[in-house]
Each structure stands twice: as structure tokens, then as C-alpha cells.
Structure 1
Amino acid sequence: MSALPAAAAPYAFTASPCGGLGMALNGTAVTLRASGALWIEAARMLVVADLHLEKGSAYAARGQMLPPYDTRETLRRLQAEVAAAMLRTVVLLGDTFHDRRSEDRLAHDDAAALRELAGVTRLVWVVGNHDADGPQGLPGETLDEIAVESLVLRHEPAPGPQAGEVAGHLHPCARVAAAGASVRRRCFVTDGARLVVPAFGAYAGGLSIRDEAFAGLFARAPLCAALGAGRVRAVGWRSVRPD
């Protein structure tokens, strides 16, 4: 991706009062929030990807004893995002569950939180590679993808440049160099036409946007929006270092 051409026309972020960054994505106004959620203003829609609920319990079943609080923390953060906006729709953009038995391992209170969410808003489950069957006992709509305004929301990015696509799956992260030091952060990455959103789950991890998995996705040099404490920071491509 280092040889991508520069942008043919200006594209940039604007500061949002919430600490996020606003932009026109394929002509649709969106906000990249500090939580890693995407807000689509015209549709009053909140989009989060790759929650990987019950990843901790999946690892524990294989003898890797992680603290079993990832689902509770991820849902707490999601509830905070829902409470912060007058929304109509929440889209879970695939890999909401870590595996096909995750739903069975949900604690009662965590399952109740998802049912409550479906009771106050339209809840859309876009299927991913970890949860291809969608939820079995929880409410909401199950879709392969969803179109809104000039955008198409799906779990896995399609090959080649795709104007208007919003996807997850790749868990983008960026190592940013500044003042002789570097930090690694989850991030959004976009060229103004398509967007890959960060993983929202507490245990989801991340992949460098310099990795070959991102090669060929963008028609021009992308911008990175790195997540910080209550704020999203715009980062130019040349400031992003390989892992």
C-alpha cells in the first residue's frame, strides 16, 4: 500500500463535539466515534463491528484462562453508545459472537442486555465468518448486508476498491510514530470512498493497516483515524509504521 497515489481531490476529517471525527464517506455524512463505533447521521444509525462476545469463555474452554469479563465490558460500552444518541437502528457488523456456541455461554444478564437493546431500537445482526448462522435465541433482524444512503454495510471487505463499502473483519490497528516514540491504537481507515472500522470487542485485538491484508482495498492513499481516550486523532499514511 505504500505506493498508492495521493488523493486526486481533498478529503479530510472535521472535529466533532463528541471527540470523534466527521467526514463525508462516499457522499454520506458519518462520524467516527472514539469508542470505535460509526454514526450515520441521516439514518440515525450506530454501527459496531467484531464484538467477539464470549471470546474469553472460548479461550477458557481450551485452557487459556483469560478474565471472563469481556462480554460484560463490551456490552457496557455498547449501552453507553446507545444512550449517547437518539438513534433508530443499531447494526452489529458481523462476528458479534466469537463462535457458534457463544450464544449458549452468555450470562443471563448479558443476554437480557441484548434483548433490551432490541426492545428500544431496530437491531440488525449482519453475519460474519465467526457467526455465519446469526443469533438463534435473541431478537433482531439477520442480514448478509444492509444498504443505507450511499453506503453498503457488510462484514468482510470485498476485493478491490469498493465505493461506499463499510466493513469490519480486519480489526485495523495503526502504529503511529511521533517525537521519537510510537503507540499502537485501534483505528478506522478510509480513502473517503470506503471505510474499514475497528473491532469493538474488549478482546478482539487488531491487525496493522500496513499488513498485506489491506493491500488493494483503497484506490488512493488512505487516512487513519486512531482511537484515543475520548478522542479520535487523524493520522496521515506516512506517520503509520509497520508492526
Structure 2
Amino acid sequence: MNGHRFTLAGAELCVMPSGALWWATERILTVSDLHLGKSERVARRGGPLLPPYDTDETLARLENDIAATDPARVICLGDSFDDDLAARTLPDMARARLLSLMAGRGWVWITGNHDPGPNGLNGAQLAQTALGPLTFRHVARPDSAPGEVSGHYHPKARLTLAGRRITRRCLLTDGHRAILPAFGAYTGGLAMDAPELDALMQPGAVAVLIGPRPSPVPMRPAGRLRNTGRGS
């Protein structure tokens, strides 16, 4: 399996090309911010029409990762649906695909800011969950203990490589916490050097660029210090 391996609070983890996180020893697959039903929700609220394929594309990614890993448990780190109505009105075919993926394995729905209510599906719906040395929640907490795994921010890296400007989804990690990229199609993102993320990540943090061969780069350019928010 192509991926980038790293250690968090003693747990050996692997970032997959899709942006999912694989904990092989525990057979746990973690994904964040699926935002299923986004195109429907945007249209419902009078926004610009998006191609109605985001849910199918996101489920296809999830099917591929589950086929590759055969997890005993899947943890969805919140904002799995673009809002509560999108969860309740998921098309029958999409619901059947999702229920097929859930069959025979543990499934945890972490509540997010987009989907705080019941989603009408099987599995446990929790505000957060702790497994071994890791704690899984939707939004990172500045005062968290080591081993926090979260999502919410949809981190993205904007880099210049070989004279070309590129934007890639990325996972951020600093040995204390990991912030996963959005797994869903049609999701925007927050620059990895945004103040909100800079304030959370410790010195030496890396951004793992998502793609066929996930690869780490420094989150902060050489010589740039972490912004502590304190005056001089």
C-alpha cells in the first residue's frame, strides 16, 4: 500500500493516498469530512448548481479504501453529511452502498458542526471516542493530550514545485496531534499556514501531501517560527 507512515503517541499510522488514516495494528480506518449530499444541500439553499456526483465519488473512494484494508472498525470524524437533512434524505442507492460498507464491522460517527443530529443510520454516534493512546474528535482542542486525531479544517498545501503552483490536500501532524484532510469531493480547504492551524501545531510540524504517493513537507518554511500569539 502506498502511503506515508508516522507515529502518534506510540501508534503506528499510515496516511493513504485518499487522505484516509490507517491504523493497521488495530485495523481502524479513519476518514474525515465526507460532506455527503453537498451538491444537494447547496442547490436546496439556492446556491450555485454543482454536478450531482459528489456523493457517488466520495463513496467510491471509501469503497476502495475499505476493500484495500478490510478494517474491523471505521471512524468518521464528523461532517460526514453536509447537513442533517442531507443525512435523512440520502438517495436510496447511496444509502444501500453505505449500509453495505458498514455491514460486519464497527462504525463510529463522530458528530460535527454540519451534522450534529442523528443520521438515521447504524453505528455509534458520539461526540468523541478514545481508543488506546488516541482520541478521535471533529475539532482539535488546543489543550488536548497527545494522540488527538481530528478533522474540520480541510487543510491544504499551496506550493511551488518545478516552477508550477500546486494545491494539494494534506494531513498535518507534529507528534502531538494529527489533523486529517477532507475526504469528500467538492470540499474547499484552509491553507496549512492559516493562523488557526499555525496556532495548533507545534514546531517541526509536517504536512503530508495527499496523492498517489503521499509525501511529507515542512508545514512552515525554513526559518519561520511558530506564531504563539504573544506580543514582543
Could you say whether these structures have the same fold, taking a TM-score greater than 0.5 normalized by the shorter chain as the test?
yes
Conservation of the 8 A alpha-carbon contact between 1:161 and 1:219: no
Separation in 1, partners of 2:177, 2:220? 19
Deviations 1:99-146 (A, max 9, x none): 1100233111101112112213111101011111131x2111111111
- Indicate which of 138, 158, 167 corresponds to 2:121: 138
Secondary structure of 2:199's counterpart equals coil
Separation in 2, partners of 1:161, 1:147? 12
* C-alpha displacement of 1:161: 5.9
Conservation of the 8 A alpha-carbon contact between 1:177 and 1:239: no
For residues 24-35 of structure 1, the aligned pairs below 5 Å read 24-35=7-18
Indicate the larger mover: 57-66 or 156-165: 156-165
Indicate the larger mover: 230-239 or 164-173: 230-239
- Structure 1, gaps ≥5 residues long: 1-17
1:188 aligns to 2:171 (yes or no): yes
Q: CA RMSD in A?
A: 1.7
**Structure 1 equivalent of residue 194 of structure 2:** 211
Conservation of the 8 A alpha-carbon contact between 1:57 and 1:105: no
* C-alpha displacement of 1:57: 0.5
- Structure 2, gaps ≥5 residues long: 223-232
For residues 93-242 of structure 1, the aligned pairs below 5 Å read 93-135=77-119, 137-160=120-143, 162-228=145-211, 230-239=212-221
Deviations 1:24-80 (A, max 9, x none): 111110001110100012210000000001010011121411111101110111011
Aligned residues: 222
Identity %: 40
Secondary structure of 1:124's counterpart equals strand
1:86 aligns to 2:62 (yes or no): no
Separation in 1, partners of 2:163, 2:60? 36
Indicate the larger mover: 194-203 or 112-121: 112-121
Separation in 2, partners of 1:145, 1:86? 23
**Structure 2 equivalent of residue 12 of structure 1:** none
Separation in 2, partners of 1:40, 1:154? 16
* C-alpha displacement of 1:91: 0.6
Separation in 1, partners of 2:216, 2:175? 13
Conservation of the 8 A alpha-carbon contact between 2:207 and 2:219: yes
- TM-score when scaled to structure 2? 0.91
Secondary structure of 1:188's counterpart equals strand
**Structure 1 equivalent of residue 227 of structure 2:** none
* C-alpha displacement of 1:233: 1.3
* C-alpha displacement of 1:162: 4.0
Conservation of the 8 A alpha-carbon contact between 2:106 and 2:123: yes
Separation in 2, partners of 1:161, 1:191? 13
